[in-house]
Structure 1
Amino acid sequence: MNRQILKIAIPSIVSNVTIPLLGLVDLWISGHIGSADCIGAIAVGGMIFNMLYWLCGFLRMGTGGFTSQAYGRGNVEAINHILQRSLRMAFGLAFAFILLQQPLLRFSLWVMKSSPDVSIMAGSYFRILIWGAPAMLGIYSLTGWFLGQQNARVPMVVAILQNVINILVSMLLTMYFDWKVEGIAVGTLVSQWIAFFMYIFFPLTNHRPIDVLWCKLSSQAELPWGRFLSVNRDIFLRTLCLVAVQLFFTATGAVQGDTILAANALLLQFYILFSYVMDGFAYAGEAIGGKAYGAKDFSMFQSLTRNLFVWGIGLMLLFTIVYVIGGNGLLQLLTDKRAVIVIAQDYVPYVVFIPLTGFAAFLYDGLYIGTTSSRLMLIAVALAAASFFLLRFLLFPMFGNGGLWLAFLTFMLVRGGVQAIYYHRIFGIKN
């Protein structure tokens, strides 16, 4: 079982690490070829797309859960149906984004309240990169489809190649053709579409998506549209809860001043670093757990859960030790702004508890997604979000930023705790 877990977890961790690199590459290039306004425009534009695509994460999760179950049953036609259905939804959402790009852009710039110069350049960046929406959302569906078939190698290779192409094309257009923000956007757009077509025609698997898209399937799909939509709806609402907590956490930091805002942004990197690793094991739980669910093999599911939590507890202890010993050193690696470091150091004792309070939620997420127990996952996150907002209003006036961090740690602890309570119901739950 451990070999199966690592076969999916390790490539998934590598893929996760490459995700922020796309945005970092754009910022790095803008920092070398443009003004501060150029850097701000890339940051604002990237944030808009991060939010849009994060809300569409159900395409990967729902597709992965349903595919892994069909894989466990050995039902190839159901696997193919799921991909076709997921890509239809992905392209439908993408074209809606393209049609509504102007109101989306205006609303996003209004929320972020950027300067006129930054807004103009961010608009140029957005209007180019929005044409990559079909590719990006298609990639979400295809990533889930491959993971559902226990294949994490293809997503890893595509993610690495996508970053390499993004770097090369963006540098070519900005440094040799002087395209500025437009060159960065086009470079990212080209990498997105090439990555999508790599998925479609990928030679490293015998079950290529292009063959699935052209094949004729029976007229009656095994998976009803209602079930498909309800699971994706629950995952979407769950993501909205996560977004609300993150936005309110950031906003509460902002009202305390720029230094606290910057310090919290640095401290959240402790959470993000931990999440990249834990998500890899969550993906393993999703793929293998869904396979066991589809095959109705409860003993395999229990064995998977035990092994996942052995890994989770080990990683929790490792990260806790690293943060206790090297937390202050990590802050100094992230920035050289002394005032921000001094403030952030006061809150390192809080982030040391991120692994302890958060590891279970990541692992349970994978098991819940694999069994498509989306309603229970939504309930858990909604209750955790409610606890965050309640404690934020109670503790922040008394303890300031420390109260905010206590509310965030409680959010993670409640999320995992509620999922633990419902765990016995997820093997066979009906949404």
Structure 2
Amino acid sequence: MTRTDRQILHIALPSIVSNITVPLLGLIDVSIVGHLGAASYIGAIAVGGMLFNMIYWLFGFLRMGTGGLTAQAYGRHDLQEVTRILLRSLSISLLLALALLLLQYPIRNIAFMCMDTSKEVRQLATLYFHICIWGAPATLGLYGFTGWYIGMQNSRFPMFIAITQNIVNIAASLFFVFVLKMKVEGVALGTLVAQYAGLGMACLLWLAYYRPLRKYLRQKALFDRMEMKRFFQVNRDIFFRTLCLIAVTVFFTSTGAAYGDVVLAVNALLMQLFTLYSYFMDGFAYAGEALTGKYIGAKDNQSLRLTIRHLFKCGIALSLLFTLLYGAGGKSFLGLLTNDTSVISASEEYIYWVLAIPLAGFSAFLLDGICIGATATRVMLRSMLVASASFFLLYYGFHTTLGNHALWMAFIVYLALRGIVQGGILYRMPHTNLHRQV
């Protein structure tokens, strides 16, 4: 194993562990209310969890933009700017969180207008929402800390934070629900406590390991006009790119529902295979983000070129491994998720699309990370616009003849085009410092 491979894995492996722990927060909540004896409790947690996933997904730019900018400042050994980036990110996170708290009632009303739920589920989901929304400052603040730690080439701290959140969530939720006899509100409070425990851990880790940076906290020009302009330009592109991603994801789910409950269930289960793959590829994308930013900041083009080559070798190897695993055990994996024979039987018609996901999508993940590290976020946005437009055009062009197969075909092409278009644009843009290195 080369030094470059070790650097990649040093960042990728803890990131993969962190990614895998993320869905555990929602799974723990569902598991606890699943033992309370009413399906409405599960429905309320599912609706509330989905709503927060959509809200916080929109603010993912806080993590990505912070990570790329921090990595470049780290590569330049500009500790003053490294510290300023964290403070800018946390300040903007707090302002956005305050906006969410102030607008929580109109946000809730608009969200529930788009959801067809029973009266009981809506009442319980409303209760869950108005408790968990107070976790917005912690959640958005953690986005800033996570991006900053990754930019500092330290993916272990986000892993420690994620593990802390899960442990606290389990303990607090069990205490509130089974000791204090609270129900949905107990689960919501457990989640809320876990979010602030994660933020507290992030702060403690910073104070323990980055204490020397405190001297830069008193420096002027924290909100330097040019640096703030760059910060918002980077995050603006990521924000609009995320909107496109959400549009495709929501359309995929809602359109699958039009083909009936069985097809909807099949699509949902098969997408779990994509999600599992994405947890691993995102780990390598984070490594690409951190290392690309560092080497661009240091103006070390040789190390940058070598890192990108090794990232793609890792990506291809991992994609082939997942293709083989899904080909050999995909149906068995679905059997672990459901015992509904009708769903398992129907999945046989579509599972072959899943085999195309790893090789079609790996370059999109890796190039996303590389572009974030290079702060070439406009490239990400352009490629997403092209890929998203192609997704909708393909589906509407073939859905009358292919049905649900058209949906999967459009999704596979969408994944592939994200990588192809990003690579093509970067190849023609020497000023990004990535010319002929992708």
TM band (smaller chain): over 0.9
1:50-69 to structure 2, matched below 5 A, reads: 50-69=53-72
Q: Residue 154 in 1 paired to residue 125 in 2?
A: no
Q: Residue 258 in 1 paired to residue 261 in 2?
A: yes
Q: CA deviation at 1:133?
A: 0.1
Say whether the 8 Å CA contact 2:334–2:344 is kept in structure 1.
yes
**Counterpart among 97, 102, 105 of residue 100 in structure 2:** 97
Which residue in 2 is equivalent to 1:286? 289
Q: Deviations over 1:72-107 (max 9, x none)?
A: 000000001101111111011101000000111111
Which residue in 1 is equivalent to 2:312? 309
Q: Residue 218 in 1 paired to residue 225 in 2?
A: no
Say whether the 8 Å CA contact 2:33–2:42 is kept in structure 1.
yes
Write the distance in 1 (CA, Å) between the matches of 2:301 and 2:331.
44
Say whether the 8 Å CA contact 1:64–1:147 is kept in structure 2.
yes
Write the distance in 2 (CA, Å) between the matches of 1:135 and 1:242.
24
Q: Residue 13 in 1 paired to residue 38 in 2?
A: no
Q: CA deviation at 1:208?
A: 4.7
Q: CA deviation at 1:298?
A: 1.1
**Counterpart among 280, 299, 302 of residue 302 in structure 2:** 299
Which residue in 2 is equivalent to 1:342? 345
1:13-52 to structure 2, matched below 5 A, reads: 13-52=16-55
Q: Residue 206 in 1 paired to residue 209 in 2?
A: yes
Say whether the 8 Å CA contact 1:34–1:180 is kept in structure 2.
no
Which residue in 1 is equivalent to 2:118? 115
Q: Deviations over 1:369-412 (max 9, x none)?
A: 00110101100011000000000101111101111100000000
Write the distance in 2 (CA, Å) between the matches of 1:83 and 1:34.
45
TM-score, normalised with respect to structure 2: 0.95
Q: Deviations over 1:127-148 (max 9, x none)?
A: 0000000000000000000000
Say whether the 8 Å CA contact 2:293–2:373 is kept in structure 1.
yes
Q: Residue 392 in 1 paired to residue 379 in 2?
A: no
Write the distance in 1 (CA, Å) between the matches of 2:296 and 2:315.
21
Say whether the 8 Å CA contact 1:15–1:155 is kept in structure 2.
yes
Say whether the 8 Å CA contact 1:371–1:426 is kept in structure 2.
no
The amino acid across from 2:292 in the alignment is G
Write the distance in 2 (CA, Å) between the matches of 1:307 and 1:218.
40
Q: Deviations over 1:181-203 (max 9, x none)?
A: 00000000001001101101217
- Comparing 220-229 with 128-137, greater Cα deviation is found at 220-229
Which residue in 2 is equivalent to 1:183? 186
Q: CA deviation at 1:214?
A: 8.2
The amino acid across from 2:163 in the alignment is I
Say whether the 8 Å CA contact 1:59–1:137 is kept in structure 2.
yes
The amino acid across from 1:17 in the alignment is I
Percent of aligned positions with the same letter in both sequences? 50
Write the distance in 2 (CA, Å) between the matches of 1:407 and 1:234.
24
Write the distance in 2 (CA, Å) between the matches of 1:287 and 1:122.
38
Write the distance in 1 (CA, Å) between the matches of 2:289 and 2:338.
36
Write the distance in 1 (CA, Å) between the matches of 2:406 and 2:350.
11
SS in 2 for 1:218: coil
Q: CA deviation at 1:427?
A: 6.4
Q: CA deviation at 1:213?
A: 9.5
Task: Identify if the C-alpha distance between structure 1 residues 223 and 426 changes in structure 2 by more than 3 Å, giving closer, same or farther.
Answer: farther
Q: CA deviation at 1:424?
A: 2.9
SS in 1 for 2:114: helix
1:228-243 to structure 2, matched below 5 A, reads: 228-243=231-246
The amino acid across from 1:170 in the alignment is S
Write the distance in 1 (CA, Å) between the matches of 2:216 and 2:119.
47
Say whether the 8 Å CA contact 2:68–2:151 is kept in structure 1.
yes
TM-score, normalised with respect to structure 1: 0.97
Structure 1 unmatched ranges of 5 or more: none
Q: CA deviation at 1:24?
A: 0.5
Say whether the 8 Å CA contact 1:319–1:355 is kept in structure 2.
yes
Q: Deviations over 1:283-330 (max 9, x none)?
A: 000000000111111111110110001100100110000111111111
The amino acid across from 1:339 in the alignment is S
Q: Residue 144 in 1 paired to residue 133 in 2?
A: no
Which residue in 2 is equivalent to 1:327? 330
Write the distance in 1 (CA, Å) between the matches of 2:225 and 2:7.
28
Q: Deviations over 1:11-49 (max 9, x none)?
A: 000000011000000000010124100000000000010
Say whether the 8 Å CA contact 1:33–1:174 is kept in structure 2.
no
Matched positions, count = 429
Which residue in 2 is equivalent to 1:86? 89
The amino acid across from 2:379 in the alignment is L
Say whether the 8 Å CA contact 1:33–1:175 is kept in structure 2.
no
Write the distance in 2 (CA, Å) between the matches of 1:358 and 1:60.
22
Write the distance in 2 (CA, Å) between the matches of 1:242 and 1:26.
26
Q: Residue 382 in 1 paired to residue 385 in 2?
A: yes
Q: Residue 373 in 1 paired to residue 373 in 2?
A: no
